Amino acid sequence: MRPIADAPVTRDGKVLVLAYDHGIEHGPVDFDPQPESADPEHVFDVATHPAVTSLAVGKGVAEAYYPSYEDDVSLLAKLNGTSNLWMGEPDSAVNCSVEYAAEELGAEAIGFTVYPGVNGEVEMFEEFREVQEKAREYDLPVVMWSYARGQAVKNDTGEETIAYAARLGLELGADIAKVKYPGSKEAMETVTRMAGPTKVLMSGGSKTSDREFLESVKSVMDAGGAGLAVGRNVWQREDPIALLDALEEVIYEEASVDEALDATTPKP
Ligand code: FBP
């Protein structure tokens, strides 16, 4: 485990990764609710908000857009990904190396998806080992997208499953484990306890109301989570900045959801 308190992926020990790898993972359909979100420049602009500690994108988007934003945005290079057109067993092709991310893209953190429980688990764990060890050489924090899938996983947001996914982050040497929300603060307490010193982030999920989303983030923070990695709940909104303002209150200022909404909702 490497100390990451001084790494750009954290702010006061908390983390807010803006995730934007959906063009590969889900395809253009995710941009339909807010068409300007298809333009990476729009999302890079959103990522300059001070609440955002890192922007997670794949190699191609980083190559094309990061040179214009490297002074204002911290890059988390997502090294693997699979399209939604792939109908095989869940898996994720490695499409960028740690060396390339560090030396050519200017990444300040590494992201890697692992699907514990799938038939290709052994290969994915071995790929993660290579990435984790190389990232140590470059002194880059590693965020593990840890999504339990496969035949043995009956409920991919159940407390036991999510606790196991977070624990695997610790066991495999991730600095930060990104997991799905297990549904309650109590369940999240178990998850963060199982992860030990590995920071735990909630995965954003599909778009919900401001209040519902902030309530889940609040319960993650109250349960000892470090923050979240969120995509659609931010850039599918007409006003992503307003939600980031509210998230800043909840994550960094320990505000209640009502306080955050009150502080960030324009008064008539
Ligand atoms: P969202 O906040 O939009 O859910 O994004 C987080 C994320 O992990 C992305 O990095 C990734 O593309 C997506 O979720 C994968 O979601 P799923 O596994 O549910 O298809």
Q: What is the pLDDT along the chain (268 residues), one digit of tens a residue?
A: 677 888 999 999 999 999 999 999 999 999 999 999 999 999 999 999 999 999 999 999 999 999 999 999 999 999 999 999 999 999 999 999 999 999 999 999 999 999 999 999 999 999 999 999 999 999 999 999 999 998 989 999 999 999 999 999 999 999 999 999 999 999 999 999 999 999 999 999 999 999 999 999 999 999 999 999 999 999 999 999 999 999 999 999 999 999 999 987 777 7
Q: Does residue 66 carry a catalytic annotation?
A: no
Residue-level pLDDT at 263: 83
As a residue count, the chain comes to 268
- Is 4 part of any domain? no
- Determine, yes or no, domain membership for 137: yes
What CATH number has the domain bearing residue 83? Answer: 3.20.20.70
Residue with tokens 């909630």: 202
- Judge whether 145 lies within some domain: yes
Instruction: For ligand 1, say whether the CB of 195 is within 6 Å of any of its atoms.
Output: no
Compute CA 85 distance to the chain's CA centroid, rounded to the nearest angstrom: 22
pLDDT value of residue 1 = 65
Strand locations in the chain (E): 15-19, 54-57, 75-78, 80-81, 93-94, 109-114, 142-146, 176-179, 199-203, 227-230
Residue nearest to ligand 1 atom 10, measured at CA: 19
Q: What share of the chain is helix, strand, coil (3-state, %, to 5)?
A: 45, 15, 40
Query: Is residue 6 in a domain?
Result: no
pTM: 0.96
Cβ–ligand 1 contact at 214 (below 6 Å)? no
In short, whether 102's Cβ falls inside 6 Å of ligand 1 is: no
pLDDT at 5: 82
d(CA 239, CA 17): 18
Amino acid at 205: G
In angstroms, what is the span from residue 268 Cα to ligand 1's centroid?
35
In a domain, 150, yes or no: yes
Report the number of distinct structural domains present in the chain.
1
**Domain region containing 158:** 15-264
Is 207 designated active site?
A: no
